[in-house]
Amino acid sequence: MAWEITRTVRVRLDVPDDRKSDLHATNSKFQYCANHTADWAWRYPNEDCVTSKSEAEAAIYDDLREETDYLHANLVQKAIKRATDDISNCVDRLADGENTSKPEYDTFSIVYDKRAATYYRDKVSLATINGRVECAYDLPDNPDDTPHGEYLLNDDYDFATSTVHYDSESDEFYLHAAMERELDVARPEKAEHSRVLGVDCNVDDHIAVTSTGRFVGNADYLNHNRREFEKRRASLQQTGTPRAHLTYHRIGDRFGRWSEDYLHRCSKAVVEEANQQNCSHIAFEDLEQIRDRISDGKKFQQWAFRELQQQTKHKAELAGIVVETVEPSYTSQQCSKCGTTLDENRDEQHFACLDCSYTANADYNAAKNIARKLALKLQRGQKSPAGGAFCQYALKSGVMTVNATEVASDQYVSAERESTDKPTASAVGS
Ligand SMILES: [Zn+2]
């Protein structure tokens, strides 16, 4: 059973000077259609809003085409769809008791599918109010290892419905190309049995620790480089010369690339581990909920965690592995062997259970709890938890299967036979 993945690549378009106004005029008409659809479909609070694209099309498509001097039929349809999709999201928010208002369209953004655009690997031909305009892509000289090389120029990916944007500061147009690929792996959500790899992320010591005892990356090293970079940048800012200003930006870019690359190697190691252990799922803690734990809510560390999770998700997708998050409470205070939860169990990097005397690296203990949490969640989500499919989580000593009793009570029913050896260290950065 195949499934699809999509990647968005941003590429600058080389628009001929004498055709820029055609794109702007096209965007005005696209906005006109989207705004008029929103006006027509938004009926809150007196009536139900219209969220069906076909209902909106039946009612206003002909008028919109006439009013826009026959803007390309597919662009009118896409504008209607954009407004009804947005209103549908608004309706969901209202249902959740959140505040929202009628969507309005005033920024440059046009939706192009394959009927209003022809996509090539080096250029795109776009429908405008004044016939087609052909725009070459501004590609990097060496596209290997860039998103352009990896997706845009890769024949494994096909173009899907994309958007064209305009940056007024630089007076440049950009294509946000949606690249789609069909993967020949079973859709993991549908797998009968699941096996979870738990991953604990940290701001010091190792960046990621898996439930199988693999230690990935060095957070202290990442933070150290960040501090050195900040120091260097601060002194350049004080210098204040134009040359210092240039260097300031250059080292910023370089550090950005370096740290992204570092996290790429870490996420690769996590996915490798999941693959080796035949895992169908990777579990992280929900980032929104661990913010308090990140020292001073530091932006860089939040960025690094988000980046690591995002990159892991992208790489995992290609391997047919699902990344999910679990709610983080007590993952570091609970004993992964007997389930006892005590604040005193954890002392910095050392975990020692006051009840059963189990001792382990604290992050490793947490990773096992994270794995177990997702395995329980998956087991609960099954139609008949008692029969058939089973949910497991991967540990250094083998796999644990969560059973129905455990799911019902969330109690540990069997003590895990786990050695207290130091887990094996792994390759990245340590
Ligand atoms: Zn214990």
pTM, to two decimals: 0.65
Residue 159: the pLDDT is 95
Cα(139) to ligand 1 centroid in Å equals 56
Cα(330) to ligand 1 centroid in Å equals 13
Q: Coil, strand or helix: which one is 193?
A: coil
Cα(399) to ligand 1 centroid in Å equals 18
Amino acid at the residue 129:
I
Residue 421: the pLDDT is 40
Tokens of 19: 């055709």
Average pLDDT of each block of 10 consecutive residues along the chain (430 residues)? 76 97 98 98 94 96 97 97 95 89 96 96 97 96 86 93 94 95 66 86 90 94 90 87 86 88 94 94 86 64 90 92 92 90 86 91 94 89 60 86 61 43 44
- The whole-angstrom separation of Cα 86 and Cα 83 is 5
Cα(341) to ligand 1 centroid in Å equals 8
Q: Which of 181, 214, 180 is nearest to 197 (CA)?
A: 214
Cα(88) to ligand 1 centroid in Å equals 48
Residue 407: the pLDDT is 55
Residues ≥6 apart with Cβ < 8 Å to 386: 404
- The whole-angstrom separation of Cα 158 and Cα 148 is 13
Cα(337) to ligand 1 centroid in Å equals 5
Cα(392) to ligand 1 centroid in Å equals 20
Tokens of 407: 């799911």
Cα(144) to ligand 1 centroid in Å equals 50
Cα(284) to ligand 1 centroid in Å equals 22
Cα(7) to ligand 1 centroid in Å equals 44
Strands of 350-352's sheet in order across: 346-347, 350-352, 359-361
Q: Coil, strand or helix: which one is 2?
A: coil
Cα(214) to ligand 1 centroid in Å equals 21
Cα(352) to ligand 1 centroid in Å equals 8
Q: Which residues make up the environment of ion ligand 1, defined by Cβ < 5 Å?
A: 335, 337-338, 340, 353, 355-356, 358
Cα(334) to ligand 1 centroid in Å equals 8
Residue 386: the pLDDT is 46
Residue 326: the pLDDT is 94
Cα(238) to ligand 1 centroid in Å equals 54
Residue 392: the pLDDT is 87
Q: Which of 150, 156, 124 is nearest to 138 (CA)?
A: 124
Q: Which of 337, 340, 319, 214 is nearest to 269 (CA)?
A: 214
Residues ≥6 apart with Cβ < 8 Å to 243: none
Cα(353) to ligand 1 centroid in Å equals 5
Cα(287) to ligand 1 centroid in Å equals 26
- The whole-angstrom separation of Cα 415 and Cα 197 is 19
Cα(209) to ligand 1 centroid in Å equals 20
Secondary structure (DSSP) of 57-122:
HHHHHHHHHHHTTS--HHHHHHHHHHHHHHHHHHHHHHHTT---------S-EEEE-TTTEEE-SS
Cα(196) to ligand 1 centroid in Å equals 21
Cα(322) to ligand 1 centroid in Å equals 30
Cα(362) to ligand 1 centroid in Å equals 13
